[in-house]
Structure 1
Amino acid sequence: MNTWLIYQPAGDERSLDRAEGFVTFREGFHKIAFLAPVIWLIWRRCWLALALYVAAEIALVALAGALGMDGGRAILLMLLPNLAVGFEAAWLRARSLERRGYRHAGSVLARSREEAEVRFFTEWAAEAEPPAPRAASPARPSTSPAVLGFFPEAAR
């Protein structure tokens, strides 16, 4: 089971007609974000994260050159920002959506995106409907005397 985050576009309207604008994505490690972080960050429109990634890579290249690292160690050093993007991909995407006006609508445990969306929108639509009025029940008179404390006992 995975945790899926659901983000809602700006606006308080609760109708299933607006469901197409919602964004659903999995929380956790993203392999594509690790293997191709520049492409992933551009595709997901995470511009600030892209700028930080490029700055980190430039700093690490300069550090590897200054320390005189051989090829293998330098490559391992260059993979550190990739690893950070892979682990933080969901967080980076969430912050990017929030800057564009989206807000966190909910989180769902599910095996797939489709299952997560079905679970979320089933609950979301049920919350949007006003609850049916209940018939008023007659008030019951209290048969026990007023008791104070954790262990209610009648006064002796």
Structure 2
Amino acid sequence: MQVVIALIVTPDGFPLAYELLPGNTLDKQTLTDSFAKIEGQYGKAERVWVMDRAIPTEATLALMRAADPPVHYLVGTPKGRFSKLETSFLTKPWAAVREEVTVKLLNHDAELYVLALSAGRQDKNGPCVGAASNASANASRSCSAKHSAAMSSY
């Protein structure tokens, strides 16, 4: 039996809530419902949604950016989009965010792209790229540092 797990955690990683969904549930179908459910239970707050790149659609991301207050997110960047941004990243400096983790930040089209390089994961997958919207550079660095080990190769 396969299931999809949606996990809601505090900034320190402590679980607040979870949802179990059938394994054949499309992630894209559940995202908007999850936003409404979490806001209904916990109110509107400054949250950062960390998602696999297959979860949100471009339309969902547009809704997140247009929300009041805007919804912050960190999501993996599709390889095709990263290829288009690759040259822009070349001129950006690396910044250490913790031991063995460095990042490059790129503001592009109202998005903050974070290229994360983890020495521990580099051998396995190479660098990770995520788009962070409506989040400060510090929040993005923190989010990238905390989640780079859990992100897939992008």
Fold in common (TM above 0.5): no
Instruction: Specify the TM-score bucket, using the shorter chain as the normaliser.
Output: under 0.3
Greater strand percent: which structure? 2
Q: Which has the larger radius of gyration?
A: 1
Q: What TM-score comes out, normalization by structure 1 length?
A: 0.21
Q: Which has the higher contact order (CA 8 A, sep 6+)?
A: 1
